[in-house]
Structure 1
């Protein structure tokens, strides 16, 4: 699926900037390339930088990385539910509630890299199993209709958004 094939009606407008910032890409390419980009960046992070936060009240770098992992898992789960034609409305999640319970402060770079690789490889495997009809299948999450394909692009756009923040604010 190409991003240009994803109607804006397939996702909540909140995600529009995440998705459109990806440019014209195919879903599978951006999932695979996003994994390589993320792991490459992680290799460059000094271990002592994980506890850094750029302003009072902002998350540490480790918390941001855990947030990326948590969000990918949640959107992957939503994609699975919608792909299997589950008609139950799925609730939202409060990212600010998740972060304090993520144990981010005790994580290491190799640990985070291994977990990320497992999560992204699982996402790639799941989305490879979807045909075009499945990618168009919709459900409701956080009160908005969303398609399976949109979930994949949201995963990628969300990660790209946070990688930009990491490069601009955490690794300067």
Structure 2
């Protein structure tokens, strides 16, 4: 079982995401979260998938695209840090990634295909890492970060967005 990371293993910005991770087996939690995301998005109509709750806010398709892009980037960071790579990794601007994004032109099924491929790759990577690899530390966005902190951040980031989806998109 992967232990919860200590506060010294990540930038304070990520505290809110790590705090959203319940106790339990992180890989099982990621698998359950994947099933939940698939349930939510598979039930959407085309109109719901394009819904924005406010001016300048992302559509539900864009939220899923963002979650997938972020997991892809963070999993890459996790791999490099777990393998002992000490090269400082740059940050990324989520808003720049959203400019000109292809998400609105894709179907929910296509977005879920991408999401599921990325999540499955993340889970396989996590299952194959040693306990020592999870404790390795590197630098991303000018801050120290361990592989296990990234694993927790992945779950927490998506949990944060699923809560927003529920509160601001589906409950209205």
With the length of structure 2 as denominator, give the TM-score of the two structures. 0.95
CA distance in 2, matches of 1:27, 1:131: 14
CA distance in 2, matches of 1:2, 1:131: 10
Aligned to 1:101: 100
Of 64-73 and 25-34, deviating more is: 25-34
* Contact 1:2–1:24, Cα closer than 8 Å, also in 2: no
* Contact 2:52–2:59, Cα closer than 8 Å, also in 1: yes
Aligned to 1:45: 44
What SS is found at the alignment partner of 1:45?
coil
What SS is found at the alignment partner of 1:22?
coil
Aligned to 2:9: 10
Of 77-86 and 26-35, deviating more is: 26-35
With the length of structure 1 as denominator, give the TM-score of the two structures. 0.95
Q: Which runs of 5+ in 2 are unaligned?
A: none
Of 12-21 and 157-166, deviating more is: 12-21
Kindly state the Cα deviation for residue 26 of structure 1 after the two structures are TM-superposed: 2.3
Aligned to 2:89: 90
Kindly state the Cα deviation for residue 102 of structure 1 after the two structures are TM-superposed: 2.2
Which structure 2 residues correspond to residues 17-36 of structure 1 after superposition, within 5 A? 17-36=16-35
Runs of 4+ displaced beyond 4 Å: none
Which structure 2 residues correspond to residues 56-67 of structure 1 after superposition, within 5 A? 56-67=55-66
Aligned residues: 171
Aligned to 1:76: 75
Of 28-37 and 64-73, deviating more is: 28-37
Aligned to 1:128: 127
Aligned to 2:114: 115
Kindly state the Cα deviation for residue 8 of structure 1 after the two structures are TM-superposed: 1.2
What SS is found at the alignment partner of 1:140?
strand
**Residues 9-34 of structure 1, C-alpha deviation per residue, up to 9 Å, x if partnerless?**
11111111111112213221222111
* Contact 1:91–1:142, Cα closer than 8 Å, also in 2: yes
**Residues 44-101 of structure 1, C-alpha deviation per residue, up to 9 Å, x if partnerless?**
2112112211111211211111100000000000001101111110000000000123
CA distance in 2, matches of 1:53, 1:152: 29
